[in-house]
Copies of this chain bind each other. A is one copy, B any other.
């Protein structure tokens, strides 16, 4: 359960006082000078680990934990067993994440260009950039300071990456301007031609030139094997902080605002616009040319076929306001003879 040192390099150990400070919380009980060096879940933590509790369903595990300290909310601070310290915070998951990050720092870039990387002379490489084996950086590309480009990644002609981006193994970018701290997970595909064509009178498909770009805001993250197509005459845009999980599809000309969360296998059809903070559950999808308002929430597997207003919560396929969808499920359940006590 502890972080396997085969894969995860620990940084310096911390005292409980330092751990509490990292978490932004208050140490209650425990020796502030006691040393911790790892993290683990409640039921797997060792005496040198810090753990966390963010859901009352795990209280039984809290009672049995061997962790040195547990990051948790004030409500449960009194429930820690004998010999275990509490680190009291407003948001246990966030606080614990910060302790974990202090104990296991993100590996820093190892500046340098692998001898096998192909870097066009007309590309610009910033300070402290790490470029891995067999990466390909094409003419006119601009790689910002401190970027990490993984093995086999392809950064296409003219692509711009702001500082601190991390491009995973086998990812590919073309026709893209990315801000700072953008993360592409392995196999992500950015900037390729979207699905745009006309039908000739003879019935042949004729591709419409896709003359736009992809714009990725600061801190955008794109999951493994996810795909973001470039625009046709304008741009496909993902706003600052937006995160796409694995295998997500973003069609051409889509605009997403800031801090949107698209869970795995979501599909957004072309020209749909998402506001800020839109959340889409796994395997959900939208038709094209729709508007999904700020902070709307779309349930997993939903099929959104009409506009959704700001803050609305929708579900089902076609997607309706959740209240109506739940009533529809309840009605279906009655028709199916299913006990009312089940979901």
Which of A7, A133, A251, A337 neighbours the largest number of chain B CB atoms within 10 Å of its CB?
A7
Interface stretch of the complex, out of A13-21, A37-45, A78-86, A121-129: A37-45
Whether A247 sits at the interface, judged by CB under 8 Å, is: yes
Alpha-carbon distance between A94 and B209 when the two chains are bound, in angstroms: 11
Contacts of A4 in B (CB 8 A): 158, 175, 212-213
Q: Restricting to A304-340, which residues have a CB under 8 Å from any CB of B?
A: 305-306, 317-318, 320, 324-325, 327-329, 331-333, 335-338
Query: Could you say which of B175, B199, B283 contacts A267, with CB atoms under 8 Å apart?
Result: B283
Residue from the list B198, B203, B303 in contact with A259, Cβ < 8 A: B203
Whether A94 and B198, one on each chain, are in contact in the complex, defined by CB atoms closer than 8 angstroms, is yes
Among B241, B333, B335, contact of A205 (Cβ-Cβ < 8 Å): B241
Say whether B303 contacts A300, CB under 8 Å: yes
Name A154's contact: one of B151, B303, B317 (CB within 8 Å): B151
In the bound complex, do residue A328 and residue B318 qualify as a contact, i.e. CB atoms below 8 Å apart? no
8 A-B Cβ contacts within 8 A?
Answer: A3-B212, A91-B199, A151-B154, A154-B170, A170-B170, A192-B224, A327-B336, A331-B332
A170 contacts B152, C-beta separation under 8 Å: yes
Contact (Cβ within 8 A) A336 B343: no
What 4 new A-B contacts, CB under 8 Å, besides A94-B200, A170-B172?
A6-B140, A90-B201, A195-B243, A195-B245
Task: Please measure, in the bound complex, the distance between the C-alpha atom of A328 and the C-alpha atom of B316, giving whole angstroms.
Answer: 14
Rounded to whole angstroms, the CA-CA distance of A226 and B324 in the bound complex is: 35
| Residues from chain B with Cβ under 8 Å of A93 in the complex | 198, 208
Known A154-B169, A335-B328; contact A300-B285, beta-carbon cutoff 8 A: yes
- A36 adjacent to chain B (CB < 8 Å): no
Chain B residues with Cβ below 8 Å from A342 are 306, 320
CB of A327 within 8 A of CB of B331, answer no
Measured between beta carbons, the chain B residues less than 8 angstroms from A317 are 301, 317
Residue A75 is within 8 A (CB to CB) of chain B in the complex: no
A200→B91 CA distance, assembly (Å)? 9
**Chain B proximity mask over A188-217: 1 for CB below 8 Å, otherwise 0:** 010011010111110111111101110000
How near does chain B come to A267, taking the closest CB pair, in angstroms?
5
